[in-house]
Amino acid sequence: MKGSVFNALQEFVETNHGLEAWDSMLNTLDLPSQGIYTSSIKYDDSEMFSIVTYYCEALNVPASDLLRTFGEFLFAKLMPMAPTEAKQAPSLHAFLYMVDNLIHVEVKKLYADSNLPDFDYKDQNDKHLTMIYHSERKLCHLSEGLILGAAKHFGEEVSISQSQCMHEGDEACHIEVRFL
């Protein structure tokens, strides 16, 4: 995972729980990076999972909730780096279709070693989109948060649920986005 995501996670923790919360984690975990991240460098995913596990235990919150909240925060950090066409999307629905077909394509051009999730799309009707998430990382809840962050950005309200989830043994996560 790129250092920029770790940097955003550090900012998220410090903003919501204070600098001492990040320092406490660093003093507790034996991270290979020692908690020092360069945005363009790729770090082992296990560091992210260790940090998330630490905060879930420290804050007594489920990983799904922590990742969803972080994803919402992360969207605001990633959107300025999005391709112009994505920034100018006319709606959240149009933007979501650009995630796999434009944004991830451009990220892979810049960072060939990126391990991004893949999405398939199924329009149920004009108020309901199913995003089918495939990733060995199983960070579907982070994706839910990113979608919620995108909804805020576009000034739209959505509800999100999952009809299938890899955490429940399914082959892919079916993220149901309902436009309210």
Amino acid 56: pLDDT: 97
pLDDT, tens only, 22-63: 999 999 999 999 999 999 999 999 999 999 999 999 999 999
Give the pLDDT band of residue 124 (cuts 50, 70, 90). confident
Examine the domain organization and report whether 173 and 90 are in the same domain. Answer: yes
C-alpha 98/C-alpha 83 separation (Å) is 10
The domain in which residue 41 lies consists of 3-61
Residue 67 counted as domain residue:
no
Chain centre to alpha carbon of residue 38: 19
C-alpha 45/C-alpha 110 separation (Å) is 19
pTM: 0.96
> CB-based burial of residue 126 (10 Å sphere; 0-12 exposed, 13-18 middle, 19+ buried)?
exposed
Examine the domain organization and report whether 11 and 97 are in the same domain. Answer: no
Residue 135 counted as domain residue:
yes
Give the pLDDT band of residue 146 (cuts 50, 70, 90). very high
